[in-house]
């Protein structure tokens, strides 16, 4: 991608309401833009990171045997009356009366919807266990939205639901998800701790939350619940066991805040100059910085490096007619892990590669760039 | 993927309210399940097709120079008052008052939001033209939702917006999108016609719609608009031209109904037994059908074929303990383009490959399966 043909509106000054480093940097680096209180647009760089995190989550969920589906945001109130949560949710839930007078809501969570699907399609022990998940936008009318995408009114979540024949099965499913969550957060470059938590309006008998390390103390990036038979009993989700006896399905549920992970990664990976993306989630792997586009040699060689690397990596080339100062400070801000700086040393067939995380430059021969980058990426994987 | 570990709840009888062939087949093949009037869950097979279509759209939009971002569904009413559409939209738009008393809505379309981003970040002719797009869930409280996902209240759309310095620029952007839409629909296996259309509440001075051929008359699948300066003037989205003069940005917008495409593909690709997926969007490329799992040779060879092909294609293996009759009728219903049937001829090192579209079987030597499949896929690409 050429910077001049892309859309990265970087800013010098963070918005007034930004309290956390991630909120400030997501805005300044052109990742998000505020539309209303707790409502954000993801600009191209921000969306790329969001998608990278989403794909890491999907890959690990599939490895754990999860089956992906997609549930609607719109839900009928009667399902929530069945589970008894219609009254419990309070003003956090966005509800409305549709044009035909029916009570509807925008889902802050999807236990009722998934139980409704399962009770209509699963009725035998032979169909269990099953682990269903989705990656989908959720809505919550937060009383005080803040910290940018960390406490927002519209956010992207992965929510998974396990269905087992008994408590042992639930224990297995729960432990597998706990392990999977560890892999996901580690792959995203997050350090985290796990602690026992309050199950709140989700319910159930036991839950643990994954808290990302960082300056921002706010909530969790993951939360896993042993729900047991709470929903199954209320909503009559039953199966016939090996002996022919009807029993309620034993359930667990497992949430990850995808958009929240993006902010948490920044909380844990930044310096005074900007973001330092882990390679796995970075919007681009490599940034090519020609220091002066008016010099033919610099321009041509930069173009050549770009074309070559672009086939193997996600590459951004800063082809703007800006001073090296502006280019370097924007480069620091948006945090691409490797920069290839094409400057005066190109006369001697050399470029400088900056490792953003270590804040140091390495001189590399033109002909060795590709090998150097491959070696670097192999080391960190 | 093994069928027994997956979730494909096929049905013999379509729902009572299903009027169109696509609605009937999407339900019967386990692609969707109804949650409320005009609100559907995408079950695993349905989601896979939706994602395949989404990826075709994304690929072609990127090739045309489009830049992807993601706008919120939640929008503040004041933006719509600026454009003058707050009153125009009527009961189709889902609105609510948030807990702090602010008027909000769930976006049926995103002209206001994108103009708001552009006017805050683009102010010079040097930044134009630009083509921004998103793939995102939209909401519309249809008075009479019907035809399954074709006229739904929650649906997935690609909406793109072009910004140019003048009418000539708009004409270029518009024609490029028109051409891109042709490529997208053709790649999805849709036959279509283009006709001049009413611009409705979107506005502007000229629009054309893409109508998919098929039994269901409802539909357009794509609609492209020359908006001109209608929104730019009302919302003050201006740029400074080469001569230093301030001018309104000239705009176009371009929508594709992603979930609607899925239904339209089925409308145009089915027979009395079920769906016939085009290879490009099929949830799986190959279905392996062992006719009798109790025979060791059949089971082992099927497993071997599965492991081998699964690395190169999306493969589903029907490992259920069901009769060949049930397996074949389910296979017809879900419409995977190629089936590898492992039956009695395996003793002579032969399998039968069914080409779903042509409804015929071809005898292939065990050792030639991979080559045969590659040749087949190369021919249709």
What digits encode the pLDDT tens for the residues B157-198? 999 999 999 999 999 999 999 999 999 999 999 999 999 998
How far does B363 lie from chain A, in Å, by closest CA?
A: 34
Least CB–CB distance from B44: residue in A7, A68, A75? A68
Among A240, A268, A296, identify where a domain stops. Answer: A268
Burial class for B345, CB neighbours closer than 10 Å (0-12, 13-18, 19+)? middle
pLDDT for B104 beyond 90: yes
Residue B277 domain-assigned? no
Residues B174 and B228 in one domain: yes
ipTM score for this prediction: 0.96
The domain that holds A51 is classified in CATH as 3.30.930.10
pLDDT for the residue B216: 65
Residue B275 domain-assigned? no
Among A268, A297, A315, identify where a domain stops. Answer: A268
For residue A249, give the DSSP letter.
P
Residue B273 domain-assigned? no
SS3 label, residue A73 = coil
Query: Under a CB-based contact definition with an 8 Å cutoff, are residues B273 and B329 in contact?
Result: yes
Residue of A nearest to B4 (CA): A127
Q: How far is the CA of A154 from the CAs of A93, A150, A285, B73, B225, in angstroms?
A: 12, 10, 28, 8, 29
Q: How far apart are CA B109 and CA B157, in angstroms?
A: 9
Least CB–CB distance from A70: residue in B39, B42, B113? B42
Residues B375 and B292 in one domain: yes
Least CB–CB distance from A7: residue in B44, B67, B94? B67
Residues A109 and A174 in one domain: yes
pLDDT for B219 beyond 90: no
B5 to A65: CB separation less than 8 angstroms, yes or no: yes
Residues A264 and A309 in one domain: no
pLDDT for the residue B214: 74
The domain that holds A323 is classified in CATH as 3.40.50.800
B43 to A69: CB separation less than 8 angstroms, yes or no: yes
A73 to B154: CB separation less than 8 angstroms, yes or no: yes
How far does B132 lie from chain A, in Å, by closest CA?
A: 9
Whole-number percent of chain B with pLDDT over 90: 92
Query: Under a CB-based contact definition with an 8 Å cutoff, are residues A315 and A286 in contact?
Result: yes
Query: Under a CB-based contact definition with an 8 Å cutoff, are residues B133 and B162 in contact?
Result: no
Residue B70 domain-assigned? yes
B7 to A69: CB separation less than 8 angstroms, yes or no: yes
Residues A376 and A254 in one domain: no
Q: How far apart are CA B114 and CA B93, in angstroms?
A: 18
For residue B100, list chain A residues with Cβ-Cβ distance below 8 A.
37
Residues B245 and B322 in one domain: no
Least CB–CB distance from B36: residue in A37, A42, A76? A76
Residues A258 and A321 in one domain: no
pLDDT for the residue A199: 84
How far does A67 lie from chain B, in Å, by closest CA?
A: 7
Summarised one tens digit per residue, pLDDT across range B225-253 is 999 999 999 999 999 999 999 999 999 99
Residue of B nearest to A121 (CA): B9
Least CB–CB distance from B72: residue in A35, A73, A116? A35
Candidates A51, A67, A74, A118, partner chain B, best to mutate (most B CBs within 10 A): A74
How far does B290 lie from chain A, in Å, by closest CA?
A: 20
DSSP string, B356-373: TTTTEEEEEEGGGHHHHH
Structure tokens, A276: 């330092």
Burial class for B218, CB neighbours closer than 10 Å (0-12, 13-18, 19+)? middle
User: What is the crossing angle of helices A167-187 and A44-63, to 10°?
Assistant: 140
pLDDT for the residue B201: 85
Structure tokens, B250: 């000239």
Residues B248 and B360 in one domain: no
Residues B177 and B320 in one domain: no
pLDDT for the residue A215: 65
DSSP string, A17-39: T--SHHHHHHHHTTSEEEEETTE
A74 to B153: CB separation less than 8 angstroms, yes or no: yes
pLDDT for the residue A200: 86
Per-residue pLDDT of chain A in tens (381 residues, 90 and over written 9): 999 999 999 999 999 989 899 999 999 999 999 999 999 999 999 999 999 999 999 999 999 999 999 999 999 999 999 999 999 988 999 999 999 999 999 999 999 999 999 999 999 999 999 999 999 999 999 999 988 999 999 999 999 999 999 999 999 999 999 999 999 999 999 999 999 998 888 888 899 999 998 766 568 899 999 999 999 999 999 999 999 999 999 999 999 999 999 999 999 999 999 999 999 999 999 999 999 999 999 999 999 999 999 999 999 999 999 999 999 999 999 999 999 999 999 999 999 999 999 999 999 999 999 999 999 998 876
Q: Identify which of B215, B214, B212 has the alpha carbon closest to the alpha carbon of residue B223.
A: B212
How many A-B residue pairs are in contact by the CB < 8 A criterion? 136
For residue B7, list chain A residues with Cβ-Cβ distance below 8 A.
67, 69, 121, 130, 132
A33 to B117: CB separation less than 8 angstroms, yes or no: yes
For residue A347, give the DSSP letter.
G
pLDDT for the residue A219: 83
Burial class for A99, CB neighbours closer than 10 Å (0-12, 13-18, 19+)? middle
A35 to B74: CB separation less than 8 angstroms, yes or no: yes
Q: What is the pTM of this model?
A: 0.97
pLDDT for the residue B380: 75
Least CB–CB distance from B42: residue in A33, A69, A130? A69
A75 to B36: CB separation less than 8 angstroms, yes or no: yes
Burial class for B171, CB neighbours closer than 10 Å (0-12, 13-18, 19+)? middle
B42 to A137: CB separation less than 8 angstroms, yes or no: no
Mean pLDDT of B211-220: 77
Query: Under a CB-based contact definition with an 8 Å cutoff, are residues B79 and B109 in contact?
Result: no
Q: How far apart are CA A352 and CA B249, in angstroms?
A: 41
Least CB–CB distance from A39: residue in B36, B74, B153? B74
Q: How far apart are CA B67 and CA B160, in angstroms?
A: 9
Candidates A50, A70, A132, A136, partner chain B, best to mutate (most B CBs within 10 A): A70
Q: How far apart are CA A328 and CA A335, in angstroms?
A: 10
Q: How far apart are CA B325 and CA A172, in angstroms?
A: 36
For residue A259, list chain B residues with Cβ-Cβ distance below 8 A.
none
Q: How far is the CA of A240 from the CAs of A116, A122, A124, A128, A173, in angstroms?
A: 17, 10, 5, 11, 20
Q: Identify which of A325, A369, A365 has the alpha carbon closest to the alpha carbon of residue A348.
A: A365
For residue B364, what pLDDT band results from cuts at 50, 70 and 90? Answer: very high
Residue B276 domain-assigned? no
Candidates B1, B2, B7, partner chain A, best to mutate (most A CBs within 10 A): B7
Query: Under a CB-based contact definition with an 8 Å cutoff, are residues B32 and B148 in contact?
Result: yes
- Look at chain A and count its residues: 381
Residue of A nearest to B156 (CA): A72
A73 to B73: CB separation less than 8 angstroms, yes or no: yes
Strand order in the sheet with A350-355: A315-317, A286-290, A338-342, A350-355, A360-365
Residue owning tokens 């707790």: A38
- Sequence-ordered list of residues with C-beta below 8 angstroms from that of A60, at least 6 positions apart, any chain: A180, A183, A184, A187
Q: Identify which of B379, B364, B355 has the alpha carbon closest to the alpha carbon of residue B287.
A: B355
Q: Is the dihedral of CA B54, B57, B60, B66 positive or negative?
A: negative
Query: Under a CB-based contact definition with an 8 Å cutoff, are residues A254 and A177 in contact?
Result: yes
B41 to A71: CB separation less than 8 angstroms, yes or no: yes
Candidates B27, B36, B42, partner chain A, best to mutate (most A CBs within 10 A): B36
Work out whether strand A350-355 and strand A360-365 pair parallel, antiparallel, or are unpaired.
antiparallel
Summarised one tens digit per residue, pLDDT across range B37-67 is 999 999 999 999 999 999 999 999 999 999 9
B70 to A47: CB separation less than 8 angstroms, yes or no: yes
For residue B199, what pLDDT band results from cuts at 50, 70 and 90? Answer: confident
For residue A130, list chain B residues with Cβ-Cβ distance below 8 A.
7
Residue of A nearest to B103 (CA): A36
Residues B262 and B311 in one domain: no
For residue A244, give the DSSP letter.
S
Q: How far apart are CA A319 and CA B192, in angstroms?
A: 40
How far does B100 lie from chain A, in Å, by closest CA?
A: 8
Candidates A41, A96, A152, partner chain B, best to mutate (most B CBs within 10 A): A41
pLDDT for the residue A213: 85
For residue A41, give the DSSP letter.
E
Residue A275 domain-assigned? no
Structure tokens, B219: 């539909």
Domain residues for B41? 6-268
B130 to A7: CB separation less than 8 angstroms, yes or no: yes
A70 to B106: CB separation less than 8 angstroms, yes or no: no
CA B307 to chain centroid, in Å, comes to 29
Structure tokens, A296: 């033919």
Q: How far apart are CA B77 and CA B105, in angstroms?
A: 6
pLDDT for the residue B381: 64
Among A268, A296, A314, identify where a domain stops. Answer: A268
Residue B274 domain-assigned? no
B35 to A7: CB separation less than 8 angstroms, yes or no: no
Residues A169 and A46 in one domain: yes
B75 to A99: CB separation less than 8 angstroms, yes or no: no
Q: How many CA atoms lie within 13 A of A232 on its CB side?
A: 25
Residues A261 and A297 in one domain: no
The domain total for chain A is 2
Q: How far apart are CA A315 and CA A306, in angstroms?
A: 7
- Angle CA(B88)–CA(B90)–CA(B96) in degrees, nearest 5? 110
pLDDT for the residue A381: 64
For residue B44, list chain A residues with Cβ-Cβ distance below 8 A.
67-69
Residue of B nearest to A70 (CA): B42
For residue A289, give the DSSP letter.
E
Least CB–CB distance from B69: residue in A42, A65, A98? A42
Query: Under a CB-based contact definition with an 8 Å cutoff, are residues A84 and A283 in contact?
Result: no
Summarised one tens digit per residue, pLDDT across range A97-119 is 999 999 999 999 999 999 999 99
Q: Identify which of A51, A102, A42, A55 has the alpha carbon closest to the alpha carbon of residue A74.
A: A102
Our separate counts of H helices and E strands in chain B read 11, 21
pLDDT for the residue B233: 97
Residue B63 domain-assigned? yes
Burial class for B187, CB neighbours closer than 10 Å (0-12, 13-18, 19+)? middle
How far does A103 lie from chain B, in Å, by closest CA?
A: 11
Structure tokens, B248: 């309104």
């Amino acid at each position: 991608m050429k910077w001049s043909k892309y859309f990265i509106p970087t800013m010098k000054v963070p918005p007034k309401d930004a309290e956390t480093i991630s909120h400030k940097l997501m805005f300044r680096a052109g990742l998000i833009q505020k539309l209303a209180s707790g409502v954000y647009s993801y600009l191209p760089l921000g969306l790329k990171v969001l998608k990278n995190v989403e794909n890491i989550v999907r890959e690990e969920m599939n490895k754990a045997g999860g089956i992906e589906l997609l549930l609607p945001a719109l839900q009928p109130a009667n399902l929530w009356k069945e589970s008894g949560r219609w009254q419990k949710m309070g003003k956090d839930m966005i509800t409305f009366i549709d044009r035909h007078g029916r009570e509807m809501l925008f889902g802050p969570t999807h236990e009722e919807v998934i139980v409704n699907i399962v009770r209509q399609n699963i009725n035998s022990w032979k169909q269990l266990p099953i682990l269903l998940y989705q990656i989908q936008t959720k809505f919550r009318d937060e009383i005080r939205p803040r910290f940018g995408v960390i406490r927002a009114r519209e956010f992207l979540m992965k929510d998974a639901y396990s269905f087992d024949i008994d408590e042992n099965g639930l224990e297995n499913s729960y432990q597998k998800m706990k392990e999977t969550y560890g892999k996901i957060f580690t792959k995203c470059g997050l350090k985290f701790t796990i602690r026992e938590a309050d199950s709140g309006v989700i319910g159930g008998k036991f839950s643990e939350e994954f808290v990302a390390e960082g300056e921002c103390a706010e909530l969790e990036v993951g939360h896993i619940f042993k729900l047991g038979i709470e929903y199954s009993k209320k909503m009559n989700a039953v199966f016939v066991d090996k002996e022919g006896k009807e029993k309620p399905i034993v359930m667990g549920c497992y949430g990850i805040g995808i958009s929240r992970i993006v902010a948490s990664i920044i909380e844990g990976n930044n310096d005074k100059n900007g973001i330092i993306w882990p390679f796995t989630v970075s919007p681009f792997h490599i940034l090519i910085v020609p220091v002066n586009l008016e010099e033919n040699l610099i321009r041509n060689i930069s173009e050549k490096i770009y074309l070559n690397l672009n086939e193997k990596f996600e590459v951004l080339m800063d082809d703007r007619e800006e001073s090296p100062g502006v280019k370097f400070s924007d480069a620091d801000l948006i945090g691409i892990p490797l920069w290839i700086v094409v400057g005066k040393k190109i006369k001697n067939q050399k470029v400088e590669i900056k490792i953003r995380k270590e804040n140091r430059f390495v001189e590399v021969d033109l002909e060795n760039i590709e090998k150097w980058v491959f070696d670097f990426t192999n080391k960190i994987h």
